[in-house]
Amino acid sequence: MNDKIVKLDITDLAFDGKAVAHMDGKVVFLKGGLPGETVMARITRSKPRYDQAIVTEILTKSPERIAAPCSHVEYCGGCTWQDLQYDSQLAYKKKQVNDCLERLGKLPDVVVRDVIGSVELFSYRNKMEFSFNVTEDGFTLGLHERGHFDRIFDLERCHLQSEDADRVVHWVRNFVAKENIPVYDVTNHSGYMRFLMIRQPKHTSQLMVNVVTNYGDFPAREKLIKRLTQEVPAVTTIVHNQNGQKSNIATGEIEKVLLGPGYIEERLFDSTFRIRANSFFQTNSIQTETLYRTAFDLLHAKKTDRVMDLYCGTGSIGILISPYVTEVVGVELVAEAVEAARENALTNHVDNISFFEGDVKDFLNSKPEERERFNIVIIDPPRAGLHPKALKRLLAMRPEKILYISCNPATFARDAQQIVQAGYELPLVQPVDMFPHTLHIELTAVFYRT
């Protein structure tokens, strides 16, 4: 049946962004296509309960389809929905949250509010990562092709970042080619250039260039510094990270600052946060203010409250809520993040916050008499959600309120089911769109002890 060409009517979008159709009593998941479209598609894989297909021709276009400004939209792994009008993107993201709560969390009665849309639809990211990749005729520097971890296409223009950032990508690509610097080959783990990271805040005029390489000193380092800053004057700091591990991640084991302070600063509300090369910081600064404001409005914290901020990262949530409560303690596993959190607290003259370096589940298992004084717990975990032991120990604390900020509706729904079963009420969930044109959706909610 593979490679069979069929005519299909698309009716929906799946959780992973694939289009959905039906044929001969089976579901067909399609790469390409939007609801309301009639398409010709090639079946690429057939299973007992579903088929997979690729759209080869659109016969009838959806009224929700729009022209995408990006020339890479057909194959880039980033903006899957750039050709879908924005109101429809928000509607499908709300549906994702509803589906997760109903099917995974078994919580059909929770009110899911309309998604709060992003103020900026383009140029909203303050961080982008680009990969080097060896090819038969040289190398590429850009982003991953959709569905392929080992294919990188040369970036021409990314509409999610600034034009200055685009110029950095083009200049570095040309510099590496002219200087004959070998590019890292993931198959035999040889070569030098691995990643290029660009961080540029929305509220300050600063730009960081972070070059991640294999071990060793950077070739033509002084030439890089001088010429890059001449080409892109917006660059305020350049950092070199070395990573010789086989794992293909854009972080460094050895860091050296080549130019400037080695960090950039971003403002959220009235606070300033220093962001270093390997620090976590929300990548949509303007919408982060919307997310946190919404979360705090739902929480209704009082001056007498004591807050435990789990998975606190560089401390932004705890620092921002600190003026409205008596005490905050942040817990974070990554040592560099804890160091940055303490630095950020000092920068913003916050004296009622402290930070604990360690695993959340271990912290919750230690010093029970210390934990009992906290009546509010804030959790902003990674995509995997709460570790089972961390969730069990959190629920044993019985805090009055749990503020949950999530970047994954599926793991949120899983955790929410257990929190509600433990005696908490979840009246509503508020999704916030941090990443227009992508499949990702953030949400915030408050659980109340009953």
Element (H, E) at 337: helix 335-347
My answer on whether 134 and 196 are in the same domain is: yes
Question: What Cα–Cα distance (Å) separates residue 201 from each residue in 124, 191, 287?
Answer: 10, 31, 13
Q: Please check whether residue 85 lies inside any domain of the structure.
A: no
CA distance 72 to 422: 47
SS3 label, residue 13 = strand
* C-alpha torsion sign, points 343, 345, 351, 355: negative
Contacts of 346 (CB under 8 A, 6+ apart): none
My answer on whether 302 and 416 are in the same domain is: yes
Contacts of 127 (CB under 8 A, 6+ apart): 197, 198, 199, 200, 281, 283
CA distance 206 to 230: 15
My answer on whether 345 and 444 are in the same domain is: yes
- Are 374 and 308 in contact by the 8 Å Cβ rule? The answer is yes
My answer on whether 106 and 200 are in the same domain is: no
Write down the residue that tokens 């789990």 correspond to: 310
- Beta strands at 38-46 and 5-9: parallel, antiparallel or unpaired: antiparallel
My answer on whether 185 and 303 are in the same domain is: no
* C-alpha torsion sign, points 316, 318, 324, 327: negative
- Select from 41, 38, 96, 34 the least CA-distant residue to 65: 34
Q: What is the 3-state secondary structure (H, E, C) of 275-293?
A: EECCCCCCCCHHHHHHHHH
SS3 label, residue 148 = coil
Q: Please check whether residue 181 lies inside any domain of the structure.
A: yes
Write down the residue that tokens 């194959």 correspond to: 75
Query: Helices (H) and strands (E) in the chain — how many of each?
Result: 10, 24
My answer on whether 296 and 417 are in the same domain is: yes
Please tell me the pTM assigned to this model: 0.91
We report the CATH number of the domain holding residue 211 as: 2.40.50.1070
Catalytic positions, written as ranges: 407
We report the CATH number of the domain holding residue 346 as: 3.40.50.150
How many domains, the chain? 3
My answer on whether 225 and 339 are in the same domain is: no
Q: Please check whether residue 72 lies inside any domain of the structure.
A: no
Q: Please check whether residue 273 lies inside any domain of the structure.
A: no
Contacts of 341 (CB under 8 A, 6+ apart): 312, 313, 314, 315, 318, 319, 330, 332, 355
We report the CATH number of the domain holding residue 10 as: 2.40.50.140
SS3 label, residue 145 = strand
My answer on whether 234 and 168 are in the same domain is: yes
Q: Please check whether residue 194 lies inside any domain of the structure.
A: yes
My answer on whether 111 and 59 are in the same domain is: no
* Residue 115, token pair as written in the block: 């998604």
Q: Where do the DSSP E strands lie in 333-441?
A: 353-357, 376-379, 401-406, 424-425, 428-432
- Select from 126, 122, 110, 120 the least CA-distant residue to 68: 122
Q: Please check whether residue 405 lies inside any domain of the structure.
A: yes
Q: Taking the mean position of all CA atoms in its chain, how far away is CA 311? A: 15
- Beta strands at 376-379 and 306-310: parallel, antiparallel or unpaired: parallel
CA distance 207 to 436: 22
My answer on whether 111 and 178 are in the same domain is: no
Q: Please check whether residue 270 lies inside any domain of the structure.
A: no
* Angle separating helix axes 388-397 and 409-421, nearest 10 degrees: 40
Give the structural domain span for 381: 90-119+284-449
My answer on whether 248 and 341 are in the same domain is: no
Alpha-carbon Rg for the chain, nearest whole angstrom, is: 23
My answer on whether 306 and 433 are in the same domain is: yes
Q: In one letter, which amino acid is 207? A: L
The pLDDT score that the predictor gives to residue 371 is: 74
* Residue 52, token pair as written in the block: 């997979």
- Are 97 and 443 in contact by the 8 Å Cβ rule? The answer is yes
Q: Please check whether residue 257 lies inside any domain of the structure.
A: yes
Q: Taking the mean position of all CA atoms in its chain, how far away is CA 338? A: 20
Instruction: Count the Cβ atoms, other than its own, within 10 Å of residue 444.
Output: 24
Question: What Cα–Cα distance (Å) separates residue 22 from each residue in 13, 14, 26, 38, 39?
Answer: 12, 13, 6, 12, 12
Taking only the tens of pLDDT, the chain with its 450 residues reads 467 899 999 999 987 778 999 998 899 999 889 999 999 999 999 999 999 999 999 999 999 999 999 999 888 888 889 999 999 999 999 999 999 999 999 999 999 999 999 999 999 999 999 999 999 889 999 999 887 778 899 999 999 999 999 999 999 999 999 999 999 998 888 999 999 999 999 999 899 999 999 999 999 999 999 999 999 999 999 999 999 888 878 888 899 999 999 999 999 999 999 999 988 899 999 999 999 999 999 999 999 999 999 999 999 999 999 999 999 999 999 888 899 999 999 999 999 999 999 999 999 988 676 677 899 999 999 999 999 999 999 999 999 999 999 999 999 999 999 999 999 999 999 999 999 999 899 999 999 999
The pLDDT score that the predictor gives to residue 279 is: 85
